[in-house]
Amino acid sequence: MSGNERHTLEIRGLEAAVEGKQILFGVDLTVSSGEVHAVMGPNGAGKSTLSAVLLGRPGYHVLAGSVTLDGEDLLALPTWKRAAAGVHLIMQYPTEVPGVKLDDVLAEALVSRGRSANGLENLLRAEAARIGLDTELLHRALNVDLSGGEKKRNETLQLAVLEPKFAILDELDSGLDIDALRDCARRVEAASNAGLGVLAITHYSRLFEELRPDTVHILVRGRVVASGSPELADELERDGYAKYLGSEPEAPAAGKRTGLDDLFAR
Ligand code: ADP
Ligand code: MG
């Protein structure tokens, strides 16, 4: 995308449940173009649930709140339209898709976004070199038999080619070695400097050695319990999450729920 377009991804009062159990209890986050927001939290805090709800993964139910992209209701859209609208997810565990080649996927994705797939091969080769992905993998089935590091390089390459407005990274740092982490984080940092808005969800601050957050949010038991400057990530690395655990009330009374808004049943 061009660096002078400004976009806003706004999450307001988001409550969500999975398997009938409420996991998110009112999350508020606003990310604008070019900003990197870190969402850090202990295991089970709801980090992956947040990413799943933002992209409309089946089985995750929105109970209350809103998510808008430039004022448009994102939650009303099916997953593919959310992606085409410019919200790109890199999953914690990228899915293997046998029989579907990476270059074919990207050609289709570009066309469905109203862009041309001409010159894709050259772009793929340039991005593969930049991110350290073996060019042979460009013409193989998506993520099949790839190492953890290759999968994340592959996913980051897709992000670079598709140039979404916003990227949601769910533990980009999980399952890959230091070199792959540095290459992927560096590529996302470069994209953010060119205007990409980033929601970087992670457990550890090591991701932020290359990808510099503007703001750090701490998610505990489905709530943002603190937001602050990047130093907050260093503090967490030093002291852990203990200070933030038990600092907020237990789940609200059942009466607070606003009814199941099952957007995935459509
Ligand atoms: P995090 O990514 O922060 O570690 P998750 O969002 O994966 O946390 O999980 C938050 C809580 O939701 C956990 O208690 C987890 O067991 C539960 N949970 C997540 N996904 C599912 C699911 N598909 N089915 C049942 N429970 C789930
Ligand atoms: Mg997770």
Q: Is 41 in the pocket of ligand 1 (CB under 6 A)?
A: yes
Residue 59 CB–ligand 1 contact under 6 Å: yes
For the chain, give the mean pLDDT: 90
Confidence of residue 203 (pLDDT cuts 50, 70, 90): confident
Is residue 170 pLDDT above 80, yes or no?
yes
* Distance from C-alpha of 203 to C-alpha of 117, rounded to nearest angstrom: 36
Domains and CATH numbers, the chain: 8-245 (3.40.50.300)
Which ligand 1 atom sits nearest the alpha carbon of residue 21? 26
| Residue located nearest, by CA, to atom 22 of ligand 1 | 18
For position 206, what pLDDT does the model report? 87
Lowest mean pLDDT among 79-93, 116-130, 154-168, 233-247: 233-247
Please give the model's pTM, rounded to 2 decimal places.
Answer: 0.89
- 44-68 per-position pLDDT tens digit: 999 999 999 999 999 999 999 999 9
Q: Could you tell me the two tokens for 217?
A: 């949010």
Q: Could you tell me the two tokens for 200?
A: 């970087």
Task: Determine if ligand 1 sits within 6 Å of the CB of residue 58.
Answer: no
For residue 162, the CA-to-ligand 2 centroid distance in Å is: 24
Q: How confident is the model at residue 3 (pLDDT cuts 50, 70, 90)?
A: low
pLDDT tens for residues 206-217? 899 999 999 999
